[in-house]
Amino acid sequence: MIEIKKITANNKNDINLPNQPFKIWGKLIPSLNNEKWDYKIHKFAKTFQQCFPNENYQHDPNLIYIGAYDNNHCIGLAIFSKSMFNYLYLDDLKIDIDYRRRHIGSRLIEAGLSEAKQLNLQGIYTIAQDNNLSACLFYLNNKFEIGGFNNRDYCGTAQEGKADIYFYRDCK
Examine residue 154 and state whether it is found in any structural domain, yes or no: no
Examine residue 171 and state whether it is found in any structural domain, yes or no: no
Please report, rounded to a whole number, the percentage of residues in the chain having pLDDT higher than 70: 100
Examine residue 145 and state whether it is found in any structural domain, yes or no: no
> What is the domain-level CATH number for residue 112?
3.40.630.30
- Residue pLDDT, tens place only, 42-86: 999 999 999 999 999 999 999 999 999 999 999 999 999 998 889
Examine residue 9 and state whether it is found in any structural domain, yes or no: yes
Examine residue 165 and state whether it is found in any structural domain, yes or no: no
- Residue pLDDT, tens place only, 93-105: 999 999 999 999 9
Q: Are 91 and 79 in contact (CB under 8 A)?
A: yes
- Residue pLDDT, tens place only, 8-23: 989 999 999 999 999 9
Q: Is the pLDDT of residue 165 over 90?
A: yes
Q: Are 62 and 81 in contact (CB under 8 A)?
A: yes
Span between the terminal Cα atoms of the chain, in Å: 27
d(CA 170, CA 35): 18
d(CA 27, CA 165): 11
- Count of structural domains, the chain: 1
Examine residue 137 and state whether it is found in any structural domain, yes or no: no
Greatest C-alpha distance within the chain: 50
| Average pLDDT value for residue range 126-135 | 97
Examine residue 57 and state whether it is found in any structural domain, yes or no: yes
d(CA 10, CA 94): 21
Q: What pLDDT is attached to residue 130?
A: 97
Examine residue 129 and state whether it is found in any structural domain, yes or no: no
Q: Which residues are CB-neighbours of 42 under 8 A, at least 6 positions away?
A: 26, 27, 29
The boundaries of the domain holding residue 30 are 2-121
Q: What pLDDT is attached to residue 155?
A: 92
